[in-house]
């Protein structure tokens, strides 16, 4: 008899980057980074204010049955600077899905919501930095229309860094 999985009711809602559930998921993703990258987490300096409208957004996904946070992601506005960003960039940060909720399309749902929000805020390009030890992330972004681009950001000089970008076409353009 085939194994049945319970259908999960997932709600995605705005949050603050310093909300306790966001902090908990951030701690989990940092542990995963440390496993994949020889003990190192992501040291990119982040401030909760970076994810506040109109200059950003942070989302948390919750399993409504048990109220547990199961995924996160955010974007923050960037402008041209010495780290290689361009005017009008929106940078993805802290995209993460807990292992038990992977394969449900949550990362794709959060990514789409973040793109819509950045577009509505007038951002012209979504950018992200991931690493060569995250093939699942690279596959998600490639299948969502992202292409590799010139390196930018905190890890731009690291060989393992992979930077990607996608134009955010405005409605009607």
pLDDT at residue 171 greater than cutoff 70:
no
State pTM to two decimals.
0.92
| Cβ–Cβ < 8 Å for 127, 149 | yes
Q: How far from the centroid of its chain's Cα atoms is residue 70's Cα?
A: 13
The pLDDT value recorded for residue 7 is 64
- Mean pLDDT confidence for 135-141: 97
The pLDDT value recorded for residue 41 is 86
pLDDT at residue 4 greater than cutoff 70:
no
The CATH code of the domain at 10-167 is 3.40.630.30
- The sheet with strand 10-15 has its strands ordered as 10-15, 56-63, 68-78, 89-97, 125-131, 161-167, 147-148
Token pair belonging to 69: 């946070």
Q: What are the residue ranges spanned by the domains of the chain?
A: 10-167
């Amino acid at each position: 008899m085939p194994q049945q999985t319970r259908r999960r009711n997932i709600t995605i809602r705005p949050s603050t980057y310093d909300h306790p559930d966001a902090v908990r998921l951030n701690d989990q993703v940092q542990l995963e980074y440390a496993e994949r990258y020889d003990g190192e987490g992501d040291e990119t300096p982040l401030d909760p204010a970076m994810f506040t409208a109109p200059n950003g957004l942070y989302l948390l996904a919750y399993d409504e049955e048990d109220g547990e946070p199961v995924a996160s992601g955010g974007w923050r506005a960037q402008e041209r600077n010495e780290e290689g960003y361009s005017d009008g960039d929106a940078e993805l940060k802290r995209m993460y899905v807990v292992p038990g909720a992977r394969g449900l399309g949550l990362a794709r749902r959060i990514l789409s919501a973040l793109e819509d929000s950045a577009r509505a805020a007038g951002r012209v390009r979504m950018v992200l930095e991931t690493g060569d030890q995250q093939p699942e992330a690279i596959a998600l972004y490639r299948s969502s229309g992202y292409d590799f681009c010139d390196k930018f950001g905190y890890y731009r000089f690291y060989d393992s860094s992979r930077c990607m970008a996608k134009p955010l076409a405005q409605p009607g353009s």
